[in-house]
């Protein structure tokens, strides 16, 4: 795929002996700062920010990494942003690299008995949510209107049957704002972690009013050529396969929309449909389209797949892989048996694991033990996380061997500006007294000229070399 994608992950955390009090919040923040400082100052795996990036990002809050990505503390969470990735395997490698970056720091500091980082989206105790935000580079000509994006919204609402991470229980977020007397059916387990927290189709801001598509126009590249599509409704996937499919399917559908080839379909009340699909473990997944027809999520996914096969078969290796696997998944899901996809999809793997444990222990679905298992599925520590057991035992499909995943924290993806940014970071690390500003779209050293990097699909290696040759004194460049 000739494009650029990226993923931002907000990690949850479990502290040993925590009681959810204010003291634990301070202790957690202190732990986050220790891990961050170890990564930047001890391991020297990146450059800590010297400048104030925003009112809530003071100097030292975070920085750019040697892989071209970014690590920082945001709204009480450690957040990792992958570098710009050109292929699906690059994205999977960079995503796993973030997990390894954090876990290696925890292990080196001897903190594995005190803190565990959890790559999920909910806090079962407080019902808070934390995000997994997807970024896609699209043309400035993309039909960024409500009408133009109806097909994209329909796809995003229904793709959770493939991309959901699964969770125990339910969060009725509006109950904190208004008291409702409505009787609701119990939801013991659902497909998506984020579905209950999405309250709008489109909205500009990220916090408190979470939308399917974030409409803030912040391209972080040439604004005359590009737009950055920023999606908020996705779950944090442990599965390499589900991660690759999420980005691959979504970019293909964005291409269909931009090329005017998407099916003319939309969803009536997509926010409600998102929750209804997530809550429906019968796998019927019914919804109403804009014409009033009752369809299933599978019906809609098949519409998009049919158009994509016709338009893009043979385009490139990534596209052909996604189209083939998409078809296999929809065929298996149509049989309404989650066990057929436990080797590829997080929600099915988790449901199968927790259901088996519940039956063996004769537990009710509201038993806190099951919530604990839900969290431990997402533990990024290979020695503790339940997902890692499935992967090591060969029960969940792995796209990259561990040896390749290990490189994701320090090696940038090829064919994007992340290469040039990483090259600049390595040069600055060799000259610790240098003043610098690193941004997604450019770099500046020693208060000199700015090297703008506005084309995400360019590696900028030659430009970075020339920039340092001109701006470093001869002794520093020796």
Residues with a known catalytic role: 74
Strand-strand pairing, 211-214 and 200-203: parallel
Q: Are 344 and 249 in contact (CB under 8 A)?
A: no
For residue 227, which phi and psi values (nearest 5 degrees)?
-130, 145
Torsion angle in degrees (nearest 10) through CA of 133, 138, 143, 147: -20
Strand-strand pairing, 46-48 and 200-203: unpaired
**Whole-number Å distance between alpha carbons of 153 and 189:** 24
**Whole-number Å distance between alpha carbons of 441 and 468:** 17
- Which of these, 254, 476, 335, lies nearest to 246 by C-alpha position? 254
356, with CB counted inside 10 A (0-12, 13-18, 19+), is: exposed
Residue 433: partners with Cβ closer than 8 Å, 6 or more residues away: none
**Whole-number Å distance between alpha carbons of 413 and 83:** 7
Q: Are 314 and 320 in contact (CB under 8 A)?
A: yes
Total Cβ atoms within 10 A of residue 129: 19
């Amino acid at each position: 795929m000739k494009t650029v994608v990226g993923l931002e992950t907000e990690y949850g955390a479990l502290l040993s002996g925590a009681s959810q009090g204010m003291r634990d919040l301070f202790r957690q923040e202190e732990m986050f700062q220790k891990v961050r400082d170890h990564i930047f100052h001890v391991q020297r795996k990146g450059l800590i920010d010297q400048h104030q990036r925003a009112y809530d990002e003071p100097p030292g809050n975070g920085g750019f990494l040697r892989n071209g990505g970014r690590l920082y503390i945001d709204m009480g969470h450690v957040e990792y942003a992958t570098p710009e990735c050109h292929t699906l395997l690059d994205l999977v490698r960079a995503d796993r690299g973030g997990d390894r970056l954090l876990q290696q720091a925890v292990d080196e500091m001897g903190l594995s008995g005190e803190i565990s980082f959890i790559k999920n989206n909910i806090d079962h105790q407080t019902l808070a949510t934390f995000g997994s935000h997807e970024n896609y580079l699209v043309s400035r000509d993309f039909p960024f209107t409500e009408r133009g994006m109806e097909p994209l919204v329909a796809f995003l609402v229904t793709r959770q049957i493939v991309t959901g991470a699964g969770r125990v229980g339910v969060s009725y977020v509006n109950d904190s704002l208004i008291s409702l007397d409505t009787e609701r059916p119990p939801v013991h387990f659902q497909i998506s972690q984020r579905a209950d927290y999405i309250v709008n189709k489109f909205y500009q801001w990220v916090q408190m009013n979470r939308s399917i598509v974030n409409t803030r126009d912040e391209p972080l590249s040439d604004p005359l050529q590009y737009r950055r599509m920023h999606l908020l409704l996705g779950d944090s996937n442990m599965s390499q396969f589900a991660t690759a499919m999420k980005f691959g399917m979504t970019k293909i559908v964005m291409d269909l929309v931009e090329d005017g080839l998407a099916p003319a379909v939309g969803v009536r009340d997509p926010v409600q449909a998102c929750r209804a699909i997530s809550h429906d473990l019968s796998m019927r997944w019914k919804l109403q389209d804009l014409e009033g027809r009752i369809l299933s999520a599978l019906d809609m996914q098949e519409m998009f797949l049919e158009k994509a096969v016709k338009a893009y078969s043979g385009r490139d290796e990534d596209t052909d892989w996604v189209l083939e696997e998409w078809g296999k998944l929809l065929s298996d899901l149509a049989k309404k048996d989650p066990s057929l996809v436990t080797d590829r999809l997080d929600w099915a793997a988790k449901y199968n694991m927790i259901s088996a444990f519940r039956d063996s222990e004769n537990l009710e679905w509201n038993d806190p033990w099951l919530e604990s298992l839900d969290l431990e599925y997402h533990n990024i520590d290979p020695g503790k996380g339940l997902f890692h057991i499935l992967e090591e035992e060969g029960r969940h499909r792995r796209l990259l061997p561990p040896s390749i995943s290990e490189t994701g924290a320090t090696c940038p993806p090829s064919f994007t500006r992340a290469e040039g940014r990483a090259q600049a970071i390595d040069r600055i690390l060799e000259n610790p007294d240098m003043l610098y500003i690193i941004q997604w779209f450019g770099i500046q050293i020693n208060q000199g000229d700015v090297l703008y990097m506005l084309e995400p699909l360019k590696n900028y290696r030659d430009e970075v070399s020339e920039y340092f040759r001109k701006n470093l004194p001869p002794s520093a460049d020796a």
